[in-house]
Amino acid sequence: MQVVAGRWQVEQVFALAPRPTSVAAAQPLAVPTRWVATGCDAQGVWGRCIGSGAEPYDCVVDHVRVRMHCACPSRVRPCKHALALLLMWARGQVADATPSGVASQRLEGWASSDDAGAHAPLEVTPAAPSGSAGVPDPAASPPAPVPPDPGARDERLARMMIGLAELDRWLDDRMRTGLADPALAQYRTWDHLAARLIDAQVGALANRVRRLAGLVGAHPDWHQQVLAEMGVLHLLADAGRRGGSLSPGLADSVAAAVGWQVRQADVLAGVPHTDEWMVMGRSDVREDRIEVRRVWLWGRHTQRWAMLLSFAAYQQTLDTSFEVGTMVHADLFRYPGALGLRVLAGPRHAAPEPALEVAAGSVADAAEAVGRAVALEPWVERFPVCLLAAPARSAGRWVLTDAHGTLPIAPSAPGIAALLACSEGRAVPITAEWTPQGLVPLTVHLADRAVDIGPVADSSFVRAGA
């Protein structure tokens, strides 16, 4: 099946849900056997859902302008039928077709009118296609940017400002009651806040809140980590309300950190960064119901890091097109931001070839690079480094060390046994992810090969081959 430019990813459909129960209600309907006359094109996706009524419900979604119509009686919008249709489309279960009937009338009406009337635009903008897990087809032309609806944008900004102010008040309350408050040990305390942040269209902060909930009582030092993360949340809540007074790069970073999505079309409309990109490391993590893969690239000539993101949920596959230990001559398109790490992959200009010579710095160089990154974006959670160091034990924990110092390895980091076996206790080039808890080793670069030891996806969650 040909992939439609601009196809969403599953987590973007989740972001549309007005409440968590909407996703649960949509899942049983997100199967082709519950639908007839489905189809999709570059503007919309449509179908008729066989529900409890005598007649199937006509459902149409404009995934470019993000508008929807469903014949069901539900007052909740988007309804479970629209969410189910979008989930099937995101998973590649809706074939290309030409709209007709209700679908044609709705899509043509939306396309010819700047005012959605009774069918108001939803407050979510798609950011990345899922055709190849976030990697656009190099042979396809970038989709033409669609001007955003100024009214919808202003309404969303207002909702975000209210949500950020509410988050700050919640943090003030927590500081007054103290971290010994028994309510903090109850997950519903955090989940209720996260749900309100999702309603306010600041979903990225909701994800941080849910991750923070998992730290409460997890180990003897949890108070320190929770307090530090609350400080980061306060910083983002304050910075998000001061976006107009920030520098452009910092303002873009803050917007991304609180959950404002940049459209893929806008990114692909920028100037590409063409280089010989060395695939330095891969890291998979589970975030709520989504598996997230980060692939770290190093520009051989530009001497800059870049990060490719891909997502998988409910039997989707993660991106495997960039193999660790190879070098790819390609165009990358950077998202805006102070660090500007995230990229979209563009056309490739040559077949991948082995990349055996990497530029590894000292422990001091790595610490300096992390320091610069944190100074630019204090809320950064992961940053790549490549250093020439040896694994060792110090003060009861694993570290990477050289003549200039040591950097701790995160207590939960996998791959320590593989790191010891590959290095034999000697200093070797190692690509690692810095996190606030310590380094996570991703790759050991040997003379004849690169050994990928980074965190792997949950095989029970993501289909084999990811």
Residue 138 lies in a domain: no
Q: Are residues 285 and 369 in the same domain?
A: no
- pLDDT level of residue 154 (50, 70, 90 thresholds): low
Q: Which of 301, 326, 354 is at the close of a domain?
A: 354
Name the average pLDDT for the chain: 84
Residue 181 lies in a domain: yes
pLDDT of 89 > 90? The answer is: yes
- Secondary structure in 3-state letters for 418-430: HHHHHHCCCCEEE
Range of the domain at 70: 10-126
Residue 315 is predicted with a pLDDT of 64
Percent pLDDT > 70 in the chain is 86
- Number of domains the chain contains: 4
Q: Are residues 112 and 15 in the same domain?
A: yes
Q: Are residues 44 and 120 in the same domain?
A: yes
List pLDDT tens digits, range 17-61: 877 677 778 888 999 989 999 999 989 999 999 876 678 899 999
User: Which range scores top for mean pLDDT: 50-64, 207-221, 428-442?
Assistant: 428-442
If one compares 345 and 9, the residue with the highest pLDDT of the two is: 345
122 contacts: CB under 8 Å, gap ≥ 6: 16, 66, 67, 68, 77, 78
pLDDT of 129 > 90? The answer is: no
pLDDT of 461 > 70? The answer is: no
Residue 157 is predicted with a pLDDT of 79
Residue 368 is predicted with a pLDDT of 96
Residue 5 lies in a domain: no
Residue 375 lies in a domain: yes
Nearest to 256 by CA among 131, 167, 134, 340: 340
List pLDDT tens digits, range 329-339: 999 999 999 99
Residue 116 is predicted with a pLDDT of 41
Residue 140 lies in a domain: no
Q: Are residues 70 and 114 in the same domain?
A: yes
Q: Are residues 296 and 323 in the same domain?
A: yes
List pLDDT tens digits, range 358-412: 999 999 999 999 999 999 999 999 999 999 999 999 989 999 999 989 999 999 8
Nearest to 283 by CA among 259, 308, 261: 308
Interval 212-234 mean pLDDT: 91
Residue 407 is predicted with a pLDDT of 97
Residue 114 burial class via C-beta count within 10 angstroms: exposed 0-12, middle 13-18, buried 19 and up = exposed
Residue 416 is predicted with a pLDDT of 94
Q: Are residues 339 and 378 in the same domain?
A: no
List pLDDT tens digits, range 183-194: 898 988 998 999
Residue 214 is predicted with a pLDDT of 87
Residue 152 is predicted with a pLDDT of 53
Cα dihedral sign, 435-439-441-446: positive
159 contacts: CB under 8 Å, gap ≥ 6: 123, 199, 200, 201
Residue 146 lies in a domain: no
Residue 252 lies in a domain: no
Q: Are residues 17 and 122 in the same domain?
A: yes
pLDDT of 105 > 70? The answer is: yes
Residue 204 lies in a domain: yes
pLDDT of 125 > 80? The answer is: no
Q: Which of 244, 262, 279 is at the close of a domain?
A: 244
pLDDT of 269 > 60? The answer is: yes
Q: Are residues 237 and 280 in the same domain?
A: no
Q: Are residues 175 and 239 in the same domain?
A: yes
What distance in Å separates the CA atoms of residue 91 and residue 136, rounded to the nearest whole number? 16
The one-character DSSP state at 194 is H
Q: Are residues 193 and 276 in the same domain?
A: no
Cα dihedral sign, 89-94-96-100: negative
Q: Is the peptide bond before 352 cis (omega within 30 degrees of 0)?
A: no
Q: Are residues 116 and 207 in the same domain?
A: no
Residue 325 is predicted with a pLDDT of 96
With contact defined as beta carbons under 8 Å apart, do 282 and 288 qualify?
Answer: no
Residue 2 is predicted with a pLDDT of 36
109 contacts: CB under 8 Å, gap ≥ 6: none
- pLDDT level of residue 155 (50, 70, 90 thresholds): confident
Q: Are residues 74 and 160 in the same domain?
A: no
Residue 119 is predicted with a pLDDT of 43
